[in-house]
Amino acid sequence: MEKEIKERLQRLACALIDQETANIFVEPQAGSEGFWFGGGNVICDSDGIFWLCGRYRNHGD
């Protein structure tokens, strides 16, 4: 990947996902390194309800 394209993609990602202002929707199963919930998607149905799917990831998976 060209350096300029990589830098532009990194700037875009940082603008979309601000770790300083992010909110946790689903707590991990343990408050330790390597535990998180994610890898999923969010959709909005025809009634305006948001649905989140994902999976728990635990240290050592």
The phi-psi region of residue 25 (left if phi > 0; otherwise alpha if psi is between -120 and 50; otherwise beta) is alpha
Report strand pairing: 36-44 vs 50-57.
Answer: antiparallel
Rounded distance between C-alpha atoms, residue 35 and residue 42, angstroms? 20
pLDDT, residue 33, reads 92
Confidence of residue 18 (pLDDT cuts 50, 70, 90): confident
| Contact partners, residue 35, CB within 8 Å, separation at least 6 | 28, 29, 56, 57, 58, 59
For residue range 20-44, list pLDDT tens digits in order: 888 888 999 999 999 999 878 989 9
End-to-end CA gap in the chain:
30
pLDDT above 90: residue 14: no
pTM: 0.54
Confidence of residue 60 (pLDDT cuts 50, 70, 90): confident
